[in-house]
């Protein structure tokens, strides 16, 4: 049975061989609580899009024989294909223009303390331990929503009042994700 570090190296090599994409290993730290392999799906001058594969979880599944290297690589390859199918880079370019994205903006609740570092570059309002965070819907099919946390720099470029952006996103949230009432009987 191979050790964790060897597992990571072999997995990175197989992902690179199968996809042709650049991979990097990132150990956990105060910003990222889990070890992960970053697979660079697309890059341009100012940004990059990555897929993160959590390696400790993957290693444990592999040790317990719940998953194979081939299955892990297949998952990564499928995620890259899904990313391409959703035309994510094109949708991200639209973030420059509020009018093009305003219908896809919504609010997601996330824990402030657990996400403090990544929230430094995001647009949000804090209410106690909860950050009401601005997201953009990228893709929504069969009940599976793919979204992106909107960077603060994008909101600042829109030259709008923050409150107006927040309220518009809040209205979208109500229509995109209406409250559900359950009968417990």
Residues 170-182 pLDDT 10s = 999 988 877 777 7
Mean pLDDT across the chain: 86
The predicted model scores a pTM of 0.61
Residue 45 has pLDDT above 70, yes or no: no
- Determine the pLDDT at residue 87: 67
User: Is there a contact between 88 and 138 (Cβ–Cβ < 8 Å)?
Assistant: yes
Say whether both 138 and 106 belong to one domain: yes
User: How many whole angstroms separate alpha carbon 8 and alpha carbon 17?
Assistant: 14
Domain boundary among 29, 57, 85: 85
Do 96 and 76 share a structural domain? no
Place 17 in a pLDDT band, splitting at 50, 70 and 90.
very high
32 pLDDT tier (thresholds 50, 70, 90) = confident
Both 75 and 103 in one domain: the answer is no
Of the candidates 37, 65, 85, which is a domain's last residue? 85
Q: Based on the domain organization, do 12 and 51 belong to the same domain?
A: yes
Residue 26's domain comprises: 4-85
Query: Are 7 and 72 spatial neighbours (Cβ–Cβ below 8 Å)?
Result: no
pLDDT at 88 over 70: no
Residue 36 lies in a domain: yes
DSSP tag of 7: H
């Amino acid at each position: 049975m191979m050790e964790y570090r060897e597992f990571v190296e072999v997995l990175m090599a197989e992902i690179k061989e199968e996809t042709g994409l650049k991979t990097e290993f990132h150990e956990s730290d105060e910003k990222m609580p889990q070890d992960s392999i970053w697979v660079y799906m697309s890059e341009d001058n100012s940004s990059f899009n990555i897929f993160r594969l959590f390696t400790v979880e993957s290693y444990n599944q592999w040790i317990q024989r719940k998953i194979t290297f081939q299955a892990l690589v297949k998952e990564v390859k499928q995620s890259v294909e899904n990313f391409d199918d959703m035309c994510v880079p094109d949708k991200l370019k639209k973030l420059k223009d509020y009018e093009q994205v305003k219908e896809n903006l919504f609010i997601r609740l996330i824990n402030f303390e657990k996400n403090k570092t990544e929230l430094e570059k995001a647009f949000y309002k804090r209410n106690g331990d909860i950050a009401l965070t601005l997201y953009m819907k990228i893709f929504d099919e069969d009940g599976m929503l793919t979204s992106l946390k909107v960077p603060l720099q994008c909101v600042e470029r829109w030259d709008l009042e923050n409150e107006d952006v927040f309220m518009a996103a809040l209205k979208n949230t109500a229509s995109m994700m209406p409250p559900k009432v359950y009968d417990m009987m």
